[in-house]
Amino acid sequence: MKRLEIKMAAEKERSDLQRDQLELKRRKEDDKVMKMDLRGLDERQRRYYEKMQDEIISRRFGGA
């Protein structure tokens, strides 16, 4: 029984680590989008990145 508990704890720790790594990757990608200079983009590209920024803000802060 003890062996199973150790194995399950190790699997949970590995899963938690993977989740944390994915969250860090997503935050880095979000930060790049949020810091983008949209002034040089054409209208279509600018709207796309503005929508992405809105989604990031909504996801992070629970906005509309």
Is residue 49 within 8 Å of 38, Cβ to Cβ?
A: yes
Answer yes or no: are the C-beta atoms of 57 and 63 closer than 8 Å. Answer: yes
For residue 38, give the nearest of 28, 26, 30, 46 by alpha carbon: 46
Sorted by sequence, the CB contacts under 8 Å of residue 60 that are 6+ apart come out as 30
CA-to-CA separations, 49 to 13, 30, 54, 59, in angstroms, rounded? 35, 11, 9, 15
How many domains are there within the chain? Answer: 1
- The pLDDT value given to residue 50: 97
**What is the span of the domain harbouring residue 18?**
2-61
Q: What is residue 26's predicted lDDT score, i.e. its pLDDT?
A: 96
User: What does the pLDDT profile of the chain (64 residues) look like in tens digits?
Assistant: 799 999 999 999 999 999 999 999 999 999 999 999 999 999 999 999 999 999 999 999 985 5
